[in-house]
Amino acid sequence: MSRFFSLPLRTQLFLMALIVALPAASIIVASGLDRRTDAINEALRETRQLADTIASEQQIRVAAAEQLASALAQLPDIRENRTEQAQAILSDILRTNPQYLNIFIADHDGTMWVSARPSHATISIADRRHFINARSTGRFSSGEYIVGRLLNKPVLSFGYPYRNRRGKFAGVIVINFDLEHFRDLLQQSKLPAGSGYLIIDHKGVILSSGLDPAEFVGKSVNPRLLKQMKDGPDGGRYTGPGVDGVERFSCYRKLYLTGENEPYLYLRAGIPVREAASGATRDVIIKVAILTSFLFFAFLLAWLVGKRSIVNRIAILKNVSQRLAGGDLQARVNGLVTGGELGELGSAFDEMADKLSRQFVECRQAEAARRESELFLQTIIDAEPECVKMLAPDGRLLMMNPAGLAMIEADSFDQVKGEVVYPLIAPEHRDAFRAVTEGVFQGRENCLEFEVVGIKGHRRWLETHAVPLRDAQGKIVSLLAITRDISSRKRAERKIENLNAKLAARASELENANKELEAFGYTVSHDLRTPLTRISLICQILLESQSDDLEPRCQKYLDEIFLETQRMDQLISSLMEFSHIAHRDLVWESVNLSDMAQGIAAELSLNAPPRQVRFTIAQGISARGDAVLLRDALANLMGNAWKYTGKRESAVIEFGVTEVGGEQTYFVRDNGVGFDMSHAGRLFAAFQRLHDRNEYDGHGIGLATVKRIIDRLGGRVWAEGEPGKGATFYFTL
């Protein structure tokens, strides 16, 4: 820095102009880099979202296929190889499920005996992976890349073993998936040009591609890339070339089947690096060019200002200052330099000579004031009710007021003057006290709570605040500390700590019990779903295929069984959703609650067309949170309002936002049956109902789900109502 100030003034101005420009250049470059980083992060987020969407939809489809195959395996027509009846069932399922390319069944030798797509050819799948694994493991099993012999196109197959009435292996139910549906997801994602995805089987063969299916489907990916995904975690991201050699930001996911240790699919999605960052780079180049032109004009202006406004005028001031330094107290600028800061400096030179004559008198007055101030300060210190002390670097006591002497049980300051205070500190706090002392002499303020043992043996807790005391040159000469007695507070804190420990132990016991109960409920709900699905499907098949042969009483019983299985399945779904909320990984994003509410209203109206309900939904309501959880909460609240306005001829359901206590608050309001506020505390508890189930259907889990969602998102939920006049449910985020 000293070399800079020794340079000619005009050179300094040039450098200053350059220095002034540098932050702008740095900001331009930094903002460009930030924008590039934001663009890259956005690309990675969109890539991850596409990968998660495809993976989630594939997992849902596979789970549905497994349930379908499990139900088919129980049908008598299939277990007894009734070709005509089985072919009709499979064709009907294929017609209503476009996600499947074909559904067929092979016998225990692998020979196909019935297919949803009719074929007279003899086709064997005995060498197929999904047939071999399903037969050997007895579980739902995945296949690999093959060209279907019946469809003559690439397919991904899954097999489910079924048994005859004697319980022996009878064959495999095979479901062929259509993976080209995911190309529609890619187009809907609005990702940059060149973005794509790959669906790869366990051997590394490409099953589906978002880029050029004809070129890449059926080919193997780079073995190094396959090994990287196999050895890596279940999901990850990286930057590297794709199958077409283009550098991309990529995300991958592994997909597993229940009971299989190895992934049956690898999913990879990517966005070109160049497309993601091109806009930010172009902006930086343009802004740097503009800044360079302004910098040139700044240099020219600095040269002119330095010559006329500074250099010539400083020469005059230099001459006058040399005369003043030589003892000529009559030297004056006398208007030779006027205007601006240099003109003010000239006036300062003239004032300096006048002040020198008064210097001696002012010095004597200052000395007297200093002595008076010291006396005043000493009086305050002696009267201070808390300890004021000064310590030397080695811990020797330099000063202590009467309050401090009483704390260490000294009769006078002479008794402890110059003594090291460390022996008075309780052994367990001595090292900490020494560290605080050393830190103060290194320039750090510090606080410490410690226990002292007085000269007469009594112990007490003290709190000290220590700061460095410096001389006129800024050198630390001693430690200055204010210390107060906190023994009473410490005794109270010990009592509070004991009470808190007992409360914490009790809270831990309650939390563990709650977790065990929740895990048990989730497991039971999950295990009940499979037999319920089978019972429901069998009832539906019996009702549809044999209704003309059933007695009215049997028809009624089957209807009741089917209805009750549907209700129990809904209850299990609600319980699993309720349990899943606490473990779901939150995805924070901006959510348009108005559009979400409009969609829910449309679904409610579609499910019950005869009802005339007026929805009033405020526009432009948005929030930041997890979109899936927010939709579940809003759907439960609006569904609750729909149910309890069912007996109103002019039902009104309103969604809006207001301000409660300075906090943005969302609400769902209806003019239904309402409730008594004395029961408001039961509204959000699981399985608590304020109205008769025979009159209003439900399980009592919806509002409990809403509360758990809002709690998870860091908000709160409550309700207000009046019998016969409707209810309003409020929530914050």
Side chain identity at 17, as an amino acid letter?
Answer: A
> Which letter, b or e, does each residue of 515-542 get, where b requires 16 or more Cβ atoms within 10 Å of its Cβ?
eeeeeebbeebeeeeeebbbbbbbbebb
pLDDT in tens, 293-316: 777 777 677 667 666 666 666 777
Which helix H or strand E contains 446, and what residues bound it? strand 446-453
Grouping H, G, I as helix, E, B as strand and the rest as coil, residue 454 is coil
Report the alpha-carbon distance of residue 393 to residue 383 in Å, rounded. Answer: 26
Please report, as a single letter, which amino acid is at residue 724.
Answer: G
Task: Give every CB contact of residue 252 below 8 A, 6+ residues apart in sequence.
Answer: 51, 229, 232, 235, 236, 237, 238, 266, 267, 268, 269
Q: Going by C-beta distance under 8 Å and a sequence separation of 6 or more, which residues neighbour residue 60? A: none
Backbone angles phi, psi at 397, to 5 degrees: -85, 120
The CATH architecture of the domain made up of 42-276 is: 2-Layer Sandwich (3.30)
Cα–Cα distance measured from residue 105 to residue 471, given in angstroms and rounded to the nearest whole number: 96
Cα–Cα distance, 655 to 634 (Å, whole number): 9
Q: How far is CA 122 from the centre of its chain?
A: 55
CATH 3.30.565.10 domain locations along the chain:
586-731
At residue 483, the pLDDT reads: 92
Percent of the chain scoring above 70 in pLDDT: 78
- Residue 141's DSSP bridge partners are 159
Evaluated on CA atoms 469, 470, 476, 478, the torsion sign reads negative
Contacts of 674 (CB under 8 A, 6+ apart): 644, 721, 722, 723, 724, 725, 726, 727
Q: What is the mean pLDDT of residues 640-661?
A: 90
Q: Give the percent of the chain with pLDDT over 90.
A: 30
Cβ–Cβ under 8 Å, residues 634 and 600: yes
* From 211-225, 444-458, 628-642, the region with the lowest mean pLDDT: 211-225
The residue whose two tokens read 């401090």 is 404
CATH topology of domain 366-485: Beta-Lactamase (3.30.450)
pLDDT tens for 488-526 read 888 888 888 888 788 777 756 655 645 554 555 556 555
Token pair, residue 689, equals 């109902």
How far apart (Å, rounded) are the C-alpha atoms in residues 551 and 463?
90
Instruction: Please state, rounded to an integer, the average pLDDT across all residues of the chain.
Output: 81
Query: Per-residue pLDDT for 568 more than 70?
Result: no
Nearest to 634 by CA among 582, 598, 587: 598
The boundaries of every CATH 3.30.450.20 domain in the chain are 42-276, 366-485
- 379: which 2 tokens? 């009086």
Contact 710, 655 (CB under 8 A): no
Q: Read off the pLDDT band of 161 (50, 70, 90).
A: very high
Q: Can you spell out the DSSP letters for 549-604?
A: GS-HHHHHHHHHHHHHHHHHHHHHHHHHHHHHGGGPPP-EEEEEHHHHHHHHHHHH
DSSP for 328-391, written as a single string:
-TT---TTSS-SHHHHHHHHHHHHHHHHHTTHHHHHHHHHHHHHHHHHHHHHHHHH-SSEEEEE
Residue with tokens 């008198």: 361
Residue 33: exposure state from Cβ atoms within 10 A (0-12, 13-18, ≥19):
middle
| pLDDT tops 80 at residue 682 | no
pLDDT at 134 over 70: yes
What predicted TM-score, i.e. pTM, was given to this entire model?
A: 0.40
Place of tokens 């500074």: 310
* CA-closest candidate to residue 139, choices 7, 257, 290, 14: 257
Give which of 469, 463, 420, 482 is closest to 440, Cα–Cα. 469
Least confident among 42-56, 70-84, 325-339: 325-339
Query: Residue 486's beta-bridge partner residues?
Result: none
Residues in the chain: 733
Compute how many other C-beta atoms are within 10 angstroms of the C-beta atom of residue 589: 13
C-beta of residue 202 within 8 angstroms of C-beta of residue 264: yes
Q: How many angstroms separate the CA atoms of 158 and 103, rounded?
A: 10
Of residues 396 and 188, the one with the higher pLDDT is: 396
**Spatial contact of 191 and 271, defined as CB atoms under 8 Å apart:** yes
How far is the C-alpha of 402 from the C-alpha of 404, rounded, in Å? Answer: 5
The pLDDT of residue 28 is: 73
Give the closest residue to 653 by CA, choosing from 700, 693, 603: 603
pLDDT mean over 690-694: 61
Whether the CA torsion 437, 443, 449, 455 is positive or negative: it is: positive
Sequence-distant (6+) residues with CB within 8 A of 376 are: none
Asked if pLDDT for residue 532 goes beyond 70, the answer is: no
CA-to-CA dists, residue 95 to 63, 85, 271, 348, 623, angstroms: 19, 16, 36, 98, 41
> Nearest to residue 268, comparing CAs of 297, 310, 301, 232?
232
Reported as a pLDDT band with limits 50, 70 and 90, residue 360 is very low
What amino acid is encoded at 664 in this protein?
Q
Three-state secondary-structure class, residue 470: strand
Q: Are 174 and 125 in contact (CB under 8 A)?
A: yes
pLDDT tens per residue across span 235-272: 888 787 877 778 888 888 988 888 778 898 888 888 88
Query: Around Cβ 121, how many Cβ atoms within 10 Å?
Result: 8
DSSP state of 716: -
What pLDDT shows up at residue 91?
92
What pLDDT does 19 receive?
77
Q: Residue 343 above 60 pLDDT?
A: yes
Alpha-carbon distances of 255 from 69, 252, 382, rounded to whole Å = 19, 10, 78
Q: How far apart are CA 586 and CA 630, in angstroms?
A: 11
Query: In this structure, how many other beta carbons lie within 10 angstroms of the beta carbon of residue 400?
Result: 24
User: How far from 577 is each of 67, 711, 733, CA to CA, in Å?
Assistant: 19, 15, 20
C-alpha distances out from residue 473 to 90, 105, 438, 703, Å: 96, 96, 20, 70
Identify which of 144, 147, 122, 126 has the alpha carbon closest to the alpha carbon of residue 135.
126
Tell me which residue of 638, 705, 700, 702 sits closest to 672, measured CA to CA: 638
Instruction: Classify burial at 710, counting beta carbons within 10 Å of its beta carbon; exposed 0-12, middle 13-18, buried 19 or more.
Output: buried
Query: Which tens digit of pLDDT belongs to each residue from 455-494?
Result: 988 899 999 999 999 988 889 999 999 999 998 888 888 8
Residue 516: its pLDDT value, please? 55
Dihedral sign from CA coordinates of 677, 678, 684, 688: negative
For residue 629, count CB atoms less than 10 angstroms from its CB and return exposed for 0-12, middle for 13-18, buried for 19 or more.
buried
Cα–Cα distances (Å) from 309 to 10, 306, 342, in that order, read 11, 6, 9
Cα radius of gyration rounded to whole Å, the chain: 42
Burial of 410 (0-12, 13-18, 19+ CB in 10 A): buried
Characterize the bridge pairing of strands 651-660 and 613-617. parallel
CATH of domain 492-577: 1.10.287
The architecture of the domain spanning 586-731 is 2-Layer Sandwich (3.30)
Find the Cα–Cα–Cα–Cα dihedral 502, 503, 505, 507, rounded to 10°: 170
